Structure 1
Amino acid sequence: MLEAADTDIARFFSLFADDCVFRLGNNEIVRGRHDIQEWVGGFLGGVTGLRHTVLEMWFEGEVTAVHADVTYTLHDGTSLTLPVVTRTRIREGQAHEYLIFMDPGPVVAASS
C-alpha cells in the first residue's frame, strides 16, 4: 500500500474498501473511500510528493503494522521526513481500517 501511495495515488485508493475507516494522527475519523480521497487530497495539496522508507513490518491475521519514515517534498523543493506507524486491517484484499500514527503538524505548518 505504501508503494502505491508513493507512486500511484489512484491505485492506493483502489485498495480501500468502500466503507473503510481512516484516521491520520489526532484528526477525526473519516469513513468511506470517497471521503477519504477528499480528505487525503486536501492534506497532500501542500506537497508535491511523498516517499516511504519501511523500517519494519508486523503481520498478525488480517492486521498489518508498518514502521516507516515518510519524506514529503514541499512545493518549494525542500523535504521533510517524519516517523510514522500505519496499522491496517485487510479483508478480501482491501483495507477496511487504515490508521496512521504520526504528527502531521510539521507538514501542515511547512506547506502553509
Structure 2
Amino acid sequence: MTFDTTSEDVSALEIARSLLHAADTDIIRFFGFFSADCVFRMGNNDPVEGSEAIQEWVASYLGSVAGMHHAILEQWCDGNVIALHVNVTYTMNDGTTFTLPAVTRIRIENEKVAEYSIFMDPSPVRATR
C-alpha cells in the first residue's frame, strides 16, 4: 500500500522514485542522479560529500549484497524536498534475505540529488561482511 501526500512538485518526486528504482536495478544509473557536491548520509555514519566519495562509501557498504529492492510505503513532497518511507529487502551474496524499514530524505536541485539522507539501522547489512 502506498500513501501519496505530495504537493504540486511532481518532478522532484519522480526523480526521488527513479533514484530508488535505479538503486535496485542499475547502480551506475543510481550514481548518475547525484550532483558533484551531493551530501550523503546513512544512519549515524558521518556525512559523505561528493559523488566519487559517495560511490566509494556505497561500494563498501554493499560489498556483501547481491541485490536489493525498495518498496515505497509512503511518500511526501514539499517543493524540492522528498521523504519516502520504505521497506528495503536485501539479498545477500549467500542468498539470505531480510527487510529493513527506512525513511529517506532527498533534496533535489537542478534535477540532481543534492542531499540524500537515509534513516535506517544498517547494522544487519554490516554484520554479514
- Using structure 2 for the length normalisation, give the TM-score: 0.85
1:77 aligned onto 2:77: no
Secondary structure at the residue paired with 1:76? coil
Secondary structure at the residue paired with 1:51? strand
**Gaps spanning 5+ residues in structure 1: where?**
none
Q: Which residue of 2 aligns with 1:39?
A: 57
Structure 1 or 2, whichever has the larger Rg, is 2
Matches within 5 A, 1:1-112: 1-109=19-127, 111-112=128-129
- Using structure 1 for the length normalisation, give the TM-score: 0.97
Q: Which residue of 1 aligns with 2:4?
A: none
- Distance in 2 (CA, whole Å) between partners of 1:62 and 1:47 is 30
- Asked whether the 8 Å contact 1:80–1:107 carries over to 2, the reply is no
**Gaps spanning 5+ residues in structure 2: where?**
1-18
- Distance in 2 (CA, whole Å) between partners of 1:60 and 1:5 is 23
Question: Which contiguous aligned blocks of 4+ residues in structure 1 show a shift greater than 3 angstroms?
Answer: none
What does the per-residue CA deviation read over 1:54-100, in whole Å, with 9 as the maximum and x for residues that have no partner? 00100001100000000110111010100010000001110000000
